[in-house]
Each structure stands twice: as structure tokens, then as C-alpha cells.
Chains A and B, each alone.
Chain A
């Protein structure tokens, strides 16, 4: 316990200073119950000699704890560690080089904040300037375009500066690694985006290209929002457990009977409206000896923001978060048919005329699709033969994300189809017999 004895004076002096909860470097807000250290135990040796179940580590202390009718919490090693180390918050750890590095970083951060303020002023000044010239002239329009471009690029630079101001903060890194990141802040969005792009996006793109979703459903797709998919294990999706599905996994048809939950995580600021389409490009068509499309789900005007990511596809209408045009149809593949890809495409609804977006944090401009207009069009309310390319072109949508799962015939499919009232649950697809070519068969001995 030499360690305890050695670090106690430091711990005590830090504890007494009222700087303890002030975080001098980080900008992030801190919830009242959270500190960087473990839950603060009471002082280790109070005058009343009561023992703390979190820190009593010696046998004598444990005996006294038993006399207090309390049980020690955790292992003896953990209690000893808590007693000796937890009192100092991370940013106040008394290491000279560390503290000097923090001081240098803090100074640099102040400079960067000044630069951010100056950039904001510059943008505001530029935004206030009015382009003068002859009315409706080509010169004036060009100048207006140039000004908009300048404001936009300065806004991009401002966003970069916001990230750079916080990227050297160890507390930010720690909170991000602990999963306590606040996605309304640009630095956490930046870190999460970098992490997603380092592996998960690559994996998603590999699945999408290897299973040929790209040319089959949409000609091209560049995912900028990450998606996660989970299916409820029973009909009530709010209370039932969710089973998450990797991109491109086979999902048992009993699990895919109910509408899944989708987490759509955008990495840029603001709320935007999205359209979610689930398209199956592998519906067998016997007449044309080929495959057709089928739409399993179509909902428009779903608001998605970095902090509000969960979309329960089955409860979009009841929660008034969007308009469902085609409700969830269970994923199924008939017996004998090959496996079918269920591609989930997330489309953004950009505003028709992109106005000058303010760099100070207004929402991305989105257009609200008219549901009546869509439902009047017979092409987009029939499931069979739903052409996603046509839909995207008609409403000028932009594909921003995708997810994928697969389905094939299994023991639950017939029940799922019967419950959903889908005809054809007893149909079995058989391979056409390939007649052998009319060549004379040679004797068997030449194959030995």
C-alpha cells in the first residue's frame, strides 16, 4: 500500500482545490453526474472511522466494514486502486510534461477560436454585401454566383476550423472512445465519420458491389450516411427485443415478417427529409424467364438528423414522422427460387433550387414530397415492377445511403406468406430439365 500512501497527499490537495470540476480545456458540455474519474467515494479516512465499501481494501478495514454491516464492493485490488487513484480527474493529473502539453494545446485552441470568430465575421460581412450591377444582367448573375461560391467555401473552411479547434483535446478523444459522444457537435461527427469510413463503409460498399445492388437497383451509389438494421423478434416492435443484422446477411423469413428498425446516421449538420425504399430486384418471372422488381416498403418525408437517427419502419405513421405509401411486406422467397436481395435505399429529398445555406447551422434545405401526387401515380403504388430509377428521376432524389439483407425459402416462409395473405405459398419453382445434346454416347471405357 505504498502507492496509496504516496499518492494520498496529492489527491487530498487536488480534492481541496475548487478547480476540481472545472474543465479548462474541453468545450464539451458535461452532465452533472459525470466526471472523468470513477464514482467519487467519500474521503478515505474520515474522523468517525466509518469505512467505505468502495475503498476498504485491507483485512482490518474489511473487518470494520463487516462490523458496520456492509459488504465490500468489487475486488480487493479494485478497491485498493480506487482508494489510491480516483480522486484526481484526468486533466489534472500531476505530470509536468502532460500539463505543459495541455497548456500549449489550450493556447492553440484559443487562437483557433479567435480565427473562427474572425471567419464568422468575414462571412457575415460578405453575406451583407449586395451585388450591384444592371438588373437581370449576365454580369450581375455571375457576380452573385461568385459571391455564393465564396460564402459556401468559407463556410466549409469554417466547419473545418471547428473540427480542428477540438481535435487535440484528450477529453474529447476519451469521450468518443467511451461512446459518450454528442453528435450535435462537429468534432464528434467528424470522429464518427472517420471511424465509419475506415471500415464499415468499406464493408458496405463491398457487399453492395459484390451482390450487384449497384447496377441492378441503382446505377451508382455513394453512401454518406451510415445505416444499421435490426429486426424485432415479435410483432410489437417497441417492446420486443431487436436482433441486429449485418449488411447483406441472410435473415430468416420469420424474423423479417415485421418491419425492421433502421438507424440512419448522417454526419453533417441539420435535419433533412428522407425517403426509404426497400426494393427486391430478384422476383422470378416465369413468363419472361427473368427477374422483376418488387417494392416491399416505401415511405417519404422522414426527418433524419445526427442526433435523431432511429426510424422504426412499422411506426412511421403512428408516430407522425413521415408518410408511408407502401407498408411493410414481409420478405419472402418461394421454394426453389434462388435467394433474393432486399436492398434498402435511403434517398435524400433535396430542395429544387439550392438556396444560399447559412454556415451558422440552419438545417439542410429539404423538399416535402406531395403524398397525394405520388399516390395518384399508378407506377409508384404497385409493388410489382417498381422501378426505383424511375422514382428517383421523377422526384429528383439523391441516394445517400443503403443497407442490404437477403432472404431465401426456409421453414417459416410458408407461414409468413399465409399470414400476410400472399398467394403462391405452395408454389415450388423447379429447374427446367436440360435435354442432353443429341450426340452419340461413347462407350464407358474411354472415360476410365
Chain B
């Protein structure tokens, strides 16, 4: 019978300890030689005092500190200044949002009007109205069919050319019953 593996214990062995410790542990090894303050020296002189590990300090910090930040306690003028800045920031954000929305709407309307114009013109670039105004015949012959450019623009060919087709799949909560159909072709 093989003895149990000690590979996991190697992390705790002083022989196998590597130089790359977690950052929380680095303070334990690298000793500060020159004192920053006299208090530290005095504390070091006190015998029998246990030095708290930094990891423990960090764990304690995160256990004691709640997620909710403490409430803002300001003086009257300070609170009013804070309120003013807050209102201005909110106003700025809402204006930014509004301008982006308007820009999107403008782009959408422009695209829609372009498509509409394409739908109405024939291969000579004339709409039916213009054609009647110019006195051209209304019949659509071979070269001047109406809306050809529109139909070409509406084609969805090679939309996913540069992108993996998997990105076109709609995200669902659960996988499909029959898996991915790798044999699918158009």
C-alpha cells in the first residue's frame, strides 16, 4: 500500500517555501530594520508580547467592517456644498444619457429614411413621382426595377462572417435537450 501523498504539506515545509509568497504574508518575512517611530521600539522591548500576524489583521478588518458605508456626517455648509455637487453631477449624467439617446434616435431615423429612399428609387435613381414629373414611362423594364438596392441592403448574407456563429445563439437558462447540432448547414 502506498503511503499518502505529502504534496499538499509541502507548502508548509520550510525547505520547499518559495520566494513568491502572497502579498499579505510578505510583511511577516521582510523585517523593517530602521524603526519608523519610537513606539515600535518600545513595543519590541516589551517581552512576551505576541506580534499579530498581518493576515489575521486583514481578516479581522474585513470581518469587522460592514459592507454599508458609514453615513455622511457633515456640517451645514459642507452638507449643502455636497448636495450642490451631487445635484450637478446627477444633472450632468442625465444630460449625457439624454444626448446619447437622442444621438441613437437620430442615427436610427437617418438609417430608416435612407432605407425608405432606397426602397422607392429604381436603377436610374428616380422615384415614381419624379418619373411621372419627368414624363418617363411608368413601366418597370429590365434595368429600372424599383427597390433593387433596398432588397440588396436588406440581405443578411455574411452577417456573422467575422464572428463565431455561436455568438448568434440566444442565451437561455438551460442547455437544449438535443445539444448542439454540429452537422447543421444553411
Q: Which residue numbers of A lie inside 8 Å of B, CB to CB?
A: 90, 93, 95, 97-98, 100-102, 104-105, 108, 168, 170, 173-174
Residue of A nearest to B81 (CB): A98
A153 CA to B62 CA, complexed, in Å? 55
1/0 contact string of B112-142 vs chain A (CB within 8 Å):
0000000000000000000000000000000
Q: Which of A90, A100, A105, A108 contacts B80 (CB 8 A)?
A: A90
Interface pairs (30), CB distance under 8 Å: A90-B77, A90-B80, A93-B77, A93-B81, A95-B81, A97-B85, A98-B81, A98-B85, A100-B88, A101-B84, A101-B85, A101-B87, A101-B88, A101-B89, A102-B84, A104-B91, A104-B92, A105-B84, A105-B87, A105-B88, A105-B91, A108-B91, A168-B84, A168-B87, A168-B91, A170-B80, A170-B81, A170-B83, A173-B83, A174-B80
Interface string of B72-103 (1 = CB under 8 A from A): 00000100110111011101100100000000
B residues less than 8 Å from A102 (CB atoms): 84, 88
Within the assembled complex, what's the spacing in Å between the Cα atoms of A334 and B87? 58
**How far is it, in angstroms, between the C-alpha of A101 and the C-alpha of B91 when the chains are bound?**
10
Interface of B is mostly: helix
- Give the distance in Å from the alpha carbon of A388 to the alpha carbon of B91 in the complex: 49
* Contact present for B85 and A173 (CB under 8 Å): no
Contacts of A168 on B, CB cut-off 8 Å?
84, 87-88, 91
Closest B-chain residue to A101, C-beta based? B88
A108 vs B91: C-alpha distance in the bound complex, in angstroms?
9
* Sample of 4 more A-B contacts, CB < 8 Å, known A105-B91, A168-B91, A170-B80: A102-B84, A108-B91, A170-B81, A170-B83
The residue among A98, A100, A102, A173 with the most chain B CB atoms within 10 A of its own CB is: A98
- For A37, the closest partner residue in chain B by CB is B77
List the A side residues contacting B83 at CB < 8 Å. 170, 173
B161 → A minimal CB distance (Å): 46
Chain B residue with minimal CB distance to A103? Answer: B88
Residue of chain A at shortest CB distance from B77:
A90
A98 engages B91 (CB within 8 Å): no
Residues of B within 8 A of A (CB): 77, 80-81, 83-85, 87-89, 91-92, 95
CB distance from B75 to the nearest CB of A (A): 11
* Closest-CB distance, A390 to chain B (whole angstroms): 51
Shortest B84–chain A CB gap in Å is 4
On chain A, the residues within 8 Å of B77 by CB distance are 90, 93
Taken together as a complex, chains A and B put the C-alpha atoms of A66 and B111 apart, in Å, by 83
Bound-complex Cα distance A303 to B89 (A): 43
Residues from chain A with Cβ under 8 Å of B87 in the complex: 101, 105, 168
Query: What residues on A are CB-neighbors of B84 within 8 Å?
Result: 98, 101-102, 105, 168, 170
Determine the residue in chain B with the shortest Cβ distance to A85. B77
Q: How far is the CA of A271 from the CA of B88 in the complex (A)?
A: 36
Interfacial chain A residues near B80, Cβ < 8 Å: 90, 170, 173-174
Q: How far is the CA of A416 from the CA of B166 in the complex (A)?
A: 90
Bound-state Cα–Cα, A243 to B16, Å: 85
By beta carbon, the residue of chain A nearest B92 is A104
- A102–B88 Cα gap in the complex (Å)? 7
In the bound assembly, the distance between CA atoms of A105 and B83 in angstroms comes to 12
A17 vs B83: C-alpha distance when bound (angstroms): 27
CB distance from A164 to the nearest CB of B (A): 10
Please list the 9 inter-chain residue pairs (A to B) with the smallest Cβ-Cβ separation, ordered nearest first: A101-B88, A101-B85, A170-B84, A98-B81, A168-B87, A104-B88, A170-B80, A101-B84, A105-B88
List chain B residues, Cβ under 8 A from A97: 85
State A108–B84 Cα separation when bound (angstroms).
13
Output the least CB separation between B107 and chain A (Å): 24
CB distance from A105 to the nearest CB of B (A): 5
A97 to chain B, nearest CB (A): 6
CA distance A173 to B84 in the complex (A): 10
Residue of B nearest to A106 (CB): B88
Please, which residues of chain B bring their CB within 8 A of the CB of A170?
Answer: 80-81, 83-84
In angstroms, Cα B79 to Cα A173, docked, is 11
Closest to A102 in B: B84
Contacts of B95 in A (CB 8 A): 108
The distance from the CB of A88 to the nearest CB of chain B, in whole angstroms, is 10
User: Across the interface, which residues of A come within 8 angstroms of B91, CB to CB?
Assistant: 104-105, 108, 168
- A-chain residues with CB within 8 Å of residue B89 when the two chains form the complex: 101
Tell me, rounded to whole Å, the shortest Cβ–Cβ distance linking A278 to chain B.
42
Complex interface: chain B residues within 8 A of A90 (CB): 77, 80
Interface centre among A90, A102, A105, A170, by most chain B C-beta atoms within 10 angstroms, is A170
Shortest Cβ distance from residue A281 to the other chain B in the assembled complex, whole angstroms: 47
Nearest-neighbor residue (CB-CB) of A169 within chain B: B84
Across the two chains, which residue of chain B brings its CB closest to A108?
B91
**Closest Cβ–Cβ distance, residue A17 to chain B (whole Å):** 20
Complex Cα distance, B87 from A108, in Å, reads 12
- Chain B min CB distance to A173 (Å): 7
- CA of A102 to CA of B80 in the docked complex: distance in angstroms? 12
